[in-house]
Amino acid sequence: GWCPLSPAGAQTTQLLVDPPWMPAVLWDQVTLTCHGMGTAGATTWYKDGKLWWQDGRNHFTVTESGTYTCARDGTGLSSPVTVLNDWLVLQVPAWPQVEGDTVTLRCRC
């Protein structure tokens, strides 16, 4: 399912990643969804720190590796999500972790 990368209830823009593993890998057919207050049609996407897409779409399937962020009117810029195209990746769950949590790691190749 979808997983927010900032604490629940935060009044910020959240970039949701599916499947919910970090770093995301291109060969997983990663879908990013920008969630925040304001109009969904007011979504702006950035790739590698540069303006990338302004058509207002709030989600898409990633086709290029890079670091993605999004912005929504009224709630600002999301935390970044990096999508890799590496052949060997160690992944952790995308949801927030706190000290003492048991964490499942995935080694993917």
3-state secondary structure 37-61: CCCHHHCEEEECCEEEECCCCCEEE
Task: Look up the CATH superfamily of 14-108.
Answer: Immunoglobulins (2.60.40.10)
Q: Is 4 or 104 the better-scoring residue by pLDDT?
A: 104
Question: Measured between alpha carbons, how far is 65 from 44 in angstroms, rounded to an integer?
Answer: 18
11 pLDDT above the threshold of 80: no
Q: List the chain domain ranges.
A: 14-108
Query: Where does the pLDDT of residue 49 fall: very low under 50, low under 70, confident under 90, or very high at 90 and above?
Result: very high
The answer to whether 88 and 109 are in contact (CB under 8 A) is yes
60 pLDDT above the threshold of 70: yes
The residue count for the chain:
109
Query: Where does the pLDDT of residue 33 fall: very low under 50, low under 70, confident under 90, or very high at 90 and above?
Result: very high
